[in-house]
Amino acid sequence: MRITIFGSGYVGLVAGTCFAEMGNDVTLVDVDADKVAALQRGEIPIYEPGLTELLEDNVHTRRLSFSTDAKSALVGAEACFICVGTPMGPDGHADLRYVESVARTIGHHIDDFTVVVTKSTVPVGTAEKVRAWVRASLDARGADGDFAVASNPEFLKEGAAIDDFMKPDRVVIGVDDPRAEAILRDIYGVFMRNGLRLFVMDVPSAEMTKYAANCMLATKISFINEIANICEAVGADVELVRQGVGADKRIGTQFLFPGLGYGGSCFPKDVRELMRTAEDFGYAPRIIQAVDAVNDDQKRSVERKLSAWCELNGRSVNSLTVAVWGLAFKPNTDDVRESPALELIRFLSGAGAQVQAHDPHALETAQAALGDLPGVSYTDDPYQATEGADLMCLLTEWRPFRRPDFRRLAGQLTAKTIFDGRNQYDGKRLAEYGLQVYGVGTGARLGAPC
Protein backbone atom coordinates (compact mmCIF):
# COMPACT_ATOMS: atom_id res chain seq x y z
CA MET A 1 0.00 0.00 0.00
CA ARG A 2 1.16 3.54 -0.68
CA ILE A 3 1.23 5.62 2.51
CA THR A 4 2.15 9.27 3.04
CA ILE A 5 3.39 10.52 6.40
CA PHE A 6 3.34 14.24 7.15
CA GLY A 7 5.97 15.18 9.74
CA SER A 8 9.40 13.62 10.15
CA GLY A 9 9.64 14.06 13.89
CA TYR A 10 9.56 11.31 16.49
CA VAL A 11 6.15 9.81 15.66
CA GLY A 12 6.46 10.29 11.92
CA LEU A 13 9.89 8.68 11.67
CA VAL A 14 8.93 5.67 13.77
CA ALA A 15 5.56 5.14 12.09
CA GLY A 16 6.92 5.62 8.57
CA THR A 17 9.87 3.33 9.14
CA CYS A 18 7.74 0.58 10.67
CA PHE A 19 5.08 0.83 7.95
CA ALA A 20 7.84 0.48 5.35
CA GLU A 21 9.32 -2.48 7.20
CA MET A 22 6.03 -4.31 6.57
CA GLY A 23 6.35 -3.83 2.82
CA ASN A 24 4.43 -0.60 2.28
CA ASP A 25 5.63 2.18 -0.02
CA VAL A 26 6.06 5.12 2.37
CA THR A 27 6.97 8.75 1.77
CA LEU A 28 7.70 11.07 4.69
CA VAL A 29 6.92 14.69 3.88
CA ASP A 30 8.35 17.63 5.78
CA VAL A 31 8.42 21.36 5.04
CA ASP A 32 11.95 21.60 6.45
CA ALA A 33 14.22 21.08 3.44
CA ASP A 34 17.35 20.82 5.59
CA LYS A 35 15.81 18.06 7.69
CA VAL A 36 14.71 16.17 4.58
CA ALA A 37 18.19 16.49 3.08
CA ALA A 38 19.73 15.21 6.31
CA LEU A 39 17.36 12.23 6.38
CA GLN A 40 18.23 11.46 2.76
CA ARG A 41 21.88 11.33 3.90
CA GLY A 42 20.93 8.92 6.68
CA GLU A 43 21.22 11.46 9.48
CA ILE A 44 18.56 10.84 12.16
CA PRO A 45 17.62 13.90 14.27
CA ILE A 46 16.60 11.86 17.35
CA TYR A 47 18.05 9.06 19.41
CA GLU A 48 15.79 6.02 19.51
CA PRO A 49 17.25 2.50 19.91
CA GLY A 50 16.97 0.47 16.70
CA LEU A 51 15.56 3.28 14.55
CA THR A 52 18.70 4.14 12.58
CA GLU A 53 19.34 0.58 11.40
CA LEU A 54 15.70 -0.06 10.47
CA LEU A 55 15.41 3.23 8.63
CA GLU A 56 18.61 2.62 6.67
CA ASP A 57 17.40 -0.82 5.60
CA ASN A 58 14.11 0.52 4.27
CA VAL A 59 15.72 3.46 2.50
CA HIS A 60 18.12 1.02 0.86
CA THR A 61 15.23 -1.13 -0.39
CA ARG A 62 13.41 2.04 -1.58
CA ARG A 63 10.34 1.34 0.50
CA LEU A 64 10.97 4.55 2.46
CA SER A 65 11.73 7.98 1.02
CA PHE A 66 11.72 11.60 2.14
CA SER A 67 10.40 14.66 0.34
CA THR A 68 9.26 18.26 0.62
CA ASP A 69 6.86 17.79 -2.30
CA ALA A 70 3.43 17.04 -0.82
CA LYS A 71 1.72 16.88 -4.21
CA SER A 72 3.86 14.07 -5.61
CA ALA A 73 3.87 12.25 -2.26
CA LEU A 74 0.07 12.10 -2.25
CA VAL A 75 -0.26 10.63 -5.75
CA GLY A 76 -1.75 7.16 -5.34
CA ALA A 77 -1.69 7.30 -1.54
CA GLU A 78 -4.56 5.40 0.05
CA ALA A 79 -3.81 6.78 3.49
CA CYS A 80 -1.97 9.83 4.74
CA PHE A 81 -1.04 10.18 8.39
CA ILE A 82 -0.71 13.55 10.11
CA CYS A 83 2.23 13.18 12.52
CA VAL A 84 3.21 16.79 13.14
CA GLY A 85 3.82 18.37 16.53
CA THR A 86 1.02 19.73 18.70
CA PRO A 87 2.95 21.78 21.26
CA MET A 88 1.20 23.19 24.28
CA GLY A 89 0.07 26.76 23.78
CA PRO A 90 0.17 29.50 26.42
CA ASP A 91 -3.43 28.72 27.41
CA GLY A 92 -2.66 25.05 28.09
CA HIS A 93 -4.39 23.83 24.93
CA ALA A 94 -2.63 21.95 22.16
CA ASP A 95 -1.51 24.23 19.34
CA LEU A 96 -3.06 22.83 16.14
CA ARG A 97 -1.49 25.21 13.63
CA TYR A 98 0.71 22.47 12.09
CA VAL A 99 -2.19 20.04 11.92
CA GLU A 100 -4.26 22.67 10.15
CA SER A 101 -1.47 23.44 7.71
CA VAL A 102 -1.12 19.76 6.76
CA ALA A 103 -4.89 19.27 6.45
CA ARG A 104 -5.18 22.24 4.11
CA THR A 105 -2.19 20.99 2.11
CA ILE A 106 -3.83 17.58 1.69
CA GLY A 107 -7.00 19.27 0.43
CA HIS A 108 -4.97 21.18 -2.13
CA HIS A 109 -3.65 18.01 -3.75
CA ILE A 110 -5.82 14.90 -3.30
CA ASP A 111 -7.99 13.70 -6.16
CA ASP A 112 -8.80 10.04 -5.48
CA PHE A 113 -10.26 8.64 -2.28
CA THR A 114 -7.84 9.04 0.62
CA VAL A 115 -8.06 8.37 4.34
CA VAL A 116 -6.72 11.35 6.30
CA VAL A 117 -5.53 9.98 9.64
CA THR A 118 -4.63 12.09 12.66
CA LYS A 119 -1.85 10.26 14.50
CA SER A 120 -0.64 13.35 16.31
CA THR A 121 -2.06 13.67 19.82
CA VAL A 122 -4.96 16.05 19.34
CA PRO A 123 -7.91 17.20 21.48
CA VAL A 124 -11.34 15.63 21.13
CA GLY A 125 -13.08 17.24 18.19
CA THR A 126 -9.95 17.79 16.10
CA ALA A 127 -11.00 15.29 13.42
CA GLU A 128 -13.99 17.45 12.58
CA LYS A 129 -11.70 20.45 12.24
CA VAL A 130 -9.42 18.43 9.96
CA ARG A 131 -12.44 17.46 7.86
CA ALA A 132 -13.42 21.13 7.52
CA TRP A 133 -9.87 22.24 6.65
CA VAL A 134 -9.49 19.57 3.95
CA ARG A 135 -12.94 20.37 2.54
CA ALA A 136 -12.19 24.11 2.51
CA SER A 137 -9.08 23.52 0.37
CA LEU A 138 -10.99 21.25 -1.97
CA ASP A 139 -13.76 23.82 -2.36
CA ALA A 140 -11.21 26.58 -2.98
CA ARG A 141 -9.94 24.74 -6.05
CA GLY A 142 -13.39 23.60 -7.15
CA ALA A 143 -12.67 19.92 -6.61
CA ASP A 144 -15.02 17.27 -5.26
CA GLY A 145 -12.26 15.19 -3.65
CA ASP A 146 -13.56 12.10 -1.90
CA PHE A 147 -11.91 11.49 1.46
CA ALA A 148 -12.54 10.20 4.99
CA VAL A 149 -11.07 11.35 8.28
CA ALA A 150 -9.94 8.91 10.97
CA SER A 151 -8.18 8.98 14.33
CA ASN A 152 -5.33 6.59 15.10
CA PRO A 153 -3.54 7.75 18.25
CA GLU A 154 0.00 6.56 18.92
CA PHE A 155 0.99 4.80 22.13
CA LEU A 156 4.77 4.79 21.78
CA LYS A 157 7.22 4.86 24.66
CA GLU A 158 10.37 6.83 23.93
CA GLY A 159 13.25 4.39 24.19
CA ALA A 160 11.09 1.42 23.14
CA ALA A 161 9.13 2.88 20.23
CA ILE A 162 10.15 0.37 17.56
CA ASP A 163 9.08 -2.59 19.65
CA ASP A 164 5.88 -0.79 20.67
CA PHE A 165 4.96 -0.18 17.04
CA MET A 166 5.91 -3.60 15.71
CA LYS A 167 4.33 -5.49 18.63
CA PRO A 168 1.58 -3.16 19.87
CA ASP A 169 -0.40 -3.65 23.06
CA ARG A 170 -3.34 -2.34 21.08
CA VAL A 171 -4.20 -0.32 18.01
CA VAL A 172 -7.05 2.17 18.38
CA ILE A 173 -8.90 3.32 15.29
CA GLY A 174 -11.63 5.95 15.27
CA VAL A 175 -13.69 5.96 12.06
CA ASP A 176 -17.06 6.98 10.68
CA ASP A 177 -16.59 5.58 7.17
CA PRO A 178 -16.42 1.83 6.39
CA ARG A 179 -13.87 2.45 3.63
CA ALA A 180 -11.52 4.08 6.13
CA GLU A 181 -11.96 1.17 8.52
CA ALA A 182 -11.14 -1.34 5.79
CA ILE A 183 -7.95 0.48 4.78
CA LEU A 184 -6.72 0.87 8.36
CA ARG A 185 -7.53 -2.76 9.15
CA ASP A 186 -5.46 -3.72 6.12
CA ILE A 187 -2.53 -1.54 7.22
CA TYR A 188 -2.46 -2.82 10.78
CA GLY A 189 -3.48 -6.42 10.11
CA VAL A 190 0.13 -7.43 9.53
CA PHE A 191 1.12 -6.08 12.95
CA MET A 192 -1.49 -8.12 14.83
CA ARG A 193 -2.51 -11.10 12.81
CA ASN A 194 -4.98 -12.43 15.37
CA GLY A 195 -6.77 -9.08 15.39
CA LEU A 196 -7.46 -9.30 19.12
CA ARG A 197 -5.80 -6.00 19.99
CA LEU A 198 -7.46 -3.87 17.32
CA PHE A 199 -10.13 -1.59 18.77
CA VAL A 200 -12.44 0.18 16.33
CA MET A 201 -14.60 2.97 17.74
CA ASP A 202 -16.08 6.35 16.92
CA VAL A 203 -13.65 9.18 16.28
CA PRO A 204 -14.18 11.24 19.49
CA SER A 205 -13.70 8.12 21.63
CA ALA A 206 -10.44 7.31 19.85
CA GLU A 207 -9.18 10.86 20.42
CA MET A 208 -10.17 10.64 24.08
CA THR A 209 -8.54 7.24 24.57
CA LYS A 210 -5.05 8.67 24.09
CA TYR A 211 -5.55 11.39 26.69
CA ALA A 212 -7.20 9.03 29.16
CA ALA A 213 -4.34 6.52 28.83
CA ASN A 214 -1.58 9.08 29.35
CA CYS A 215 -3.41 10.71 32.25
CA MET A 216 -3.84 7.32 33.92
CA LEU A 217 -0.10 6.62 33.68
CA ALA A 218 0.73 10.13 34.91
CA THR A 219 -1.66 9.57 37.81
CA LYS A 220 0.23 6.45 38.89
CA ILE A 221 3.51 8.40 38.84
CA SER A 222 2.15 11.31 40.88
CA PHE A 223 0.43 8.90 43.26
CA ILE A 224 3.60 6.98 44.13
CA ASN A 225 5.52 10.27 44.50
CA GLU A 226 2.84 11.50 46.90
CA ILE A 227 3.22 8.26 48.86
CA ALA A 228 7.01 8.70 48.80
CA ASN A 229 6.71 12.16 50.35
CA ILE A 230 4.44 10.81 53.08
CA CYS A 231 6.92 7.97 53.68
CA GLU A 232 9.69 10.50 54.24
CA ALA A 233 7.51 12.34 56.75
CA VAL A 234 6.55 9.25 58.77
CA GLY A 235 9.82 7.31 58.45
CA ALA A 236 8.63 4.56 56.11
CA ASP A 237 10.49 3.19 53.06
CA VAL A 238 8.56 3.76 49.83
CA GLU A 239 10.51 1.04 48.03
CA LEU A 240 9.15 -1.55 50.43
CA VAL A 241 5.70 0.01 50.30
CA ARG A 242 5.79 -0.02 46.50
CA GLN A 243 6.57 -3.72 46.43
CA GLY A 244 3.78 -4.53 48.85
CA VAL A 245 1.24 -2.46 46.93
CA GLY A 246 2.37 -3.63 43.50
CA ALA A 247 1.97 -7.29 44.45
CA ASP A 248 -1.78 -6.73 44.20
CA LYS A 249 -2.64 -7.86 40.64
CA ARG A 250 -5.32 -5.18 40.45
CA ILE A 251 -2.61 -2.52 40.85
CA GLY A 252 0.67 -3.94 39.55
CA THR A 253 4.11 -2.33 39.67
CA GLN A 254 4.26 -0.56 36.31
CA PHE A 255 4.74 3.20 36.66
CA LEU A 256 4.89 2.86 40.45
CA PHE A 257 8.46 4.08 40.69
CA PRO A 258 9.07 7.11 42.90
CA GLY A 259 11.38 9.77 41.59
CA LEU A 260 11.38 13.28 40.23
CA GLY A 261 8.10 13.16 38.35
CA TYR A 262 7.30 12.71 34.69
CA GLY A 263 8.57 14.81 31.82
CA GLY A 264 8.95 14.56 28.06
CA SER A 265 6.72 15.68 25.24
CA CYS A 266 3.59 13.70 26.12
CA PHE A 267 2.50 13.42 29.75
CA PRO A 268 2.88 17.09 30.78
CA LYS A 269 1.18 18.36 27.63
CA ASP A 270 -1.57 15.76 27.58
CA VAL A 271 -2.46 16.15 31.26
CA ARG A 272 -2.81 19.92 30.86
CA GLU A 273 -4.74 19.63 27.62
CA LEU A 274 -7.31 17.31 29.18
CA MET A 275 -7.57 19.67 32.14
CA ARG A 276 -8.29 22.60 29.85
CA THR A 277 -10.75 20.62 27.73
CA ALA A 278 -12.71 19.55 30.81
CA GLU A 279 -12.74 23.11 32.14
CA ASP A 280 -13.94 24.41 28.76
CA PHE A 281 -16.96 22.13 29.13
CA GLY A 282 -17.63 23.31 32.68
CA TYR A 283 -16.15 20.34 34.53
CA ALA A 284 -13.41 20.64 37.17
CA PRO A 285 -11.07 17.63 36.73
CA ARG A 286 -9.84 17.53 40.32
CA ILE A 287 -7.79 14.34 40.10
CA ILE A 288 -6.01 15.46 36.94
CA GLN A 289 -5.38 18.89 38.44
CA ALA A 290 -3.80 17.23 41.47
CA VAL A 291 -1.66 14.98 39.25
CA ASP A 292 -0.24 18.05 37.51
CA ALA A 293 0.34 19.96 40.76
CA VAL A 294 2.08 17.03 42.48
CA ASN A 295 4.33 16.53 39.46
CA ASP A 296 5.37 20.18 39.30
CA ASP A 297 6.26 20.08 42.97
CA GLN A 298 8.13 16.77 42.72
CA LYS A 299 10.50 18.10 40.07
CA ARG A 300 11.93 20.45 42.70
CA SER A 301 12.43 17.80 45.39
CA VAL A 302 16.20 17.49 44.85
CA GLU A 303 16.47 21.28 44.82
CA ARG A 304 14.80 21.43 48.26
CA LYS A 305 16.89 18.59 49.67
CA LEU A 306 20.10 20.10 48.38
CA SER A 307 19.22 23.46 49.95
CA ALA A 308 18.41 21.76 53.24
CA TRP A 309 21.70 19.84 53.07
CA CYS A 310 23.57 23.12 52.62
CA GLU A 311 21.87 24.63 55.66
CA LEU A 312 22.60 21.53 57.75
CA ASN A 313 26.28 21.48 56.74
CA GLY A 314 26.95 25.21 56.90
CA ARG A 315 27.35 25.55 53.16
CA SER A 316 25.77 27.83 50.59
CA VAL A 317 24.62 26.68 47.18
CA ASN A 318 26.94 29.14 45.46
CA SER A 319 29.93 27.43 47.10
CA LEU A 320 29.11 24.04 45.54
CA THR A 321 30.38 22.16 42.55
CA VAL A 322 27.65 19.69 41.64
CA ALA A 323 27.99 16.71 39.31
CA VAL A 324 24.81 15.83 37.44
CA TRP A 325 24.36 12.37 35.98
CA GLY A 326 21.44 12.27 33.57
CA LEU A 327 19.83 15.06 31.55
CA ALA A 328 17.16 13.27 29.50
CA PHE A 329 13.72 13.03 31.07
CA LYS A 330 14.05 9.21 30.97
CA PRO A 331 16.68 6.70 29.79
CA ASN A 332 17.09 5.54 26.18
CA THR A 333 16.19 8.91 24.67
CA ASP A 334 17.83 12.26 24.05
CA ASP A 335 14.58 14.10 24.80
CA VAL A 336 15.03 16.74 27.52
CA ARG A 337 11.63 18.41 27.25
CA GLU A 338 10.19 19.02 30.74
CA SER A 339 13.16 17.14 32.21
CA PRO A 340 13.60 17.62 35.99
CA ALA A 341 17.35 17.70 35.41
CA LEU A 342 17.12 20.93 33.44
CA GLU A 343 15.08 22.60 36.17
CA LEU A 344 17.70 21.67 38.77
CA ILE A 345 20.54 22.92 36.58
CA ARG A 346 18.79 26.25 36.05
CA PHE A 347 18.35 26.57 39.82
CA LEU A 348 21.98 25.70 40.55
CA SER A 349 23.33 28.05 37.88
CA GLY A 350 21.07 30.86 39.06
CA ALA A 351 22.25 30.34 42.64
CA GLY A 352 25.91 30.59 41.60
CA ALA A 353 26.91 26.91 41.82
CA GLN A 354 29.22 25.17 39.38
CA VAL A 355 27.60 22.29 37.47
CA GLN A 356 29.42 19.44 35.70
CA ALA A 357 26.82 17.56 33.67
CA HIS A 358 26.90 14.20 31.92
CA ASP A 359 24.43 12.14 29.90
CA PRO A 360 25.10 9.24 27.52
CA HIS A 361 22.94 10.65 24.70
CA ALA A 362 21.33 13.96 25.66
CA LEU A 363 24.28 16.36 25.92
CA GLU A 364 23.51 18.19 22.67
CA THR A 365 19.78 18.50 23.26
CA ALA A 366 20.36 19.66 26.83
CA GLN A 367 22.85 22.33 25.78
CA ALA A 368 20.44 23.53 23.09
CA ALA A 369 17.60 23.73 25.63
CA LEU A 370 19.60 25.40 28.41
CA GLY A 371 21.63 27.80 26.32
CA ASP A 372 24.78 29.38 27.70
CA LEU A 373 24.17 29.17 31.45
CA PRO A 374 26.95 30.50 33.70
CA GLY A 375 28.90 27.87 35.60
CA VAL A 376 27.57 24.91 33.61
CA SER A 377 29.90 22.54 31.73
CA TYR A 378 29.24 19.27 29.94
CA THR A 379 31.26 16.09 29.50
CA ASP A 380 30.77 12.72 27.83
CA ASP A 381 32.68 11.03 30.67
CA PRO A 382 30.65 10.45 33.88
CA TYR A 383 33.75 10.38 36.07
CA GLN A 384 35.02 13.62 34.59
CA ALA A 385 31.74 15.13 35.78
CA THR A 386 32.31 13.88 39.34
CA GLU A 387 36.01 14.80 39.45
CA GLY A 388 36.40 17.65 41.95
CA ALA A 389 32.67 17.88 42.64
CA ASP A 390 31.31 18.22 46.16
CA LEU A 391 28.35 15.96 45.51
CA MET A 392 26.50 14.17 42.74
CA CYS A 393 22.84 14.22 41.67
CA LEU A 394 21.55 11.17 39.84
CA LEU A 395 18.61 12.41 37.75
CA THR A 396 18.11 9.84 34.95
CA GLU A 397 18.25 6.09 35.51
CA TRP A 398 20.48 5.10 32.61
CA ARG A 399 21.71 1.52 32.93
CA PRO A 400 25.43 2.40 33.17
CA PHE A 401 24.60 4.52 36.25
CA ARG A 402 23.17 1.59 38.20
CA ARG A 403 26.47 0.05 39.25
CA PRO A 404 29.24 2.62 38.83
CA ASP A 405 32.62 2.46 40.55
CA PHE A 406 31.48 3.57 44.00
CA ARG A 407 35.00 3.47 45.40
CA ARG A 408 36.10 5.88 42.71
CA LEU A 409 33.11 8.14 43.39
CA ALA A 410 33.94 8.19 47.09
CA GLY A 411 37.43 9.38 46.21
CA GLN A 412 36.16 12.08 43.86
CA LEU A 413 33.21 13.63 45.72
CA THR A 414 34.59 15.90 48.42
CA ALA A 415 31.38 15.82 50.48
CA LYS A 416 30.86 12.12 49.69
CA THR A 417 27.17 12.74 49.11
CA ILE A 418 24.79 11.54 46.42
CA PHE A 419 21.26 12.80 45.85
CA ASP A 420 19.59 9.84 44.19
CA GLY A 421 16.52 11.19 42.44
CA ARG A 422 15.64 7.80 40.94
CA ASN A 423 16.19 5.45 43.91
CA GLN A 424 18.85 3.45 42.12
CA TYR A 425 21.28 3.03 45.02
CA ASP A 426 21.24 1.08 48.27
CA GLY A 427 22.26 3.59 50.92
CA LYS A 428 23.46 0.93 53.36
CA ARG A 429 25.70 -0.63 50.75
CA LEU A 430 27.16 2.71 49.70
CA ALA A 431 27.83 3.56 53.34
CA GLU A 432 30.56 0.91 53.16
CA TYR A 433 32.36 3.25 50.76
CA GLY A 434 31.78 6.24 53.01
CA LEU A 435 29.08 7.66 50.74
CA GLN A 436 25.87 9.26 52.00
CA VAL A 437 22.83 8.73 49.81
CA TYR A 438 19.56 10.64 49.93
CA GLY A 439 16.81 8.99 47.91
CA VAL A 440 13.11 9.65 47.35
CA GLY A 441 10.75 8.45 50.07
CA THR A 442 13.22 6.01 51.58
CA GLY A 443 12.58 6.98 55.19
CA ALA A 444 15.64 9.23 55.36
CA ARG A 445 15.29 12.71 56.75
CA LEU A 446 18.07 15.07 55.82
CA GLY A 447 20.91 14.52 58.22
CA ALA A 448 20.03 10.83 58.57
CA PRO A 449 21.24 9.25 55.30
CA CYS A 450 19.34 6.28 53.95
**C-alpha angle with apex 221: 89 to 49, nearest 5 degrees?**
75
Residue 340: phi, psi to the nearest 5? -60, -30
Nearest alpha carbon to residue 86 among 6, 20, 32, 27: 6
Amino acid at 302: V
Write down the number of H helices and E strands in the chain: 18, 14
**62 backbone φψ class: left, alpha, beta (φ>0; ψ -120 to 50):** left
Rounded-to-integer distance, Cα 443 and Cα 239, Å: 10
- Catalytic-labelled residue, pool 266, 310, 393, 450: 266
The H or E element spanning position 5 is: strand 2-6
**Is 249 buried (19+), middle (13-18) or exposed (0-12) by CB count in 10 A?**
exposed
Rounded-to-integer distance, Cα 208 and Cα 83, Å: 17
CB atoms within 10 A of CB 317: 18
266 is catalytic: yes
Partner residues linked to 171 by β-bridges: 198
**Is 92 buried (19+), middle (13-18) or exposed (0-12) by CB count in 10 A?**
middle
Are 436 and 413 spatial neighbours (Cβ–Cβ below 8 Å)?
no
Are 67 and 4 spatial neighbours (Cβ–Cβ below 8 Å)?
no
First-to-last C-alpha distance (Å) of the chain: 58
Nearest alpha carbon to residue 108 among 72, 54, 56: 72
Which positions are catalytic? Answer: 266
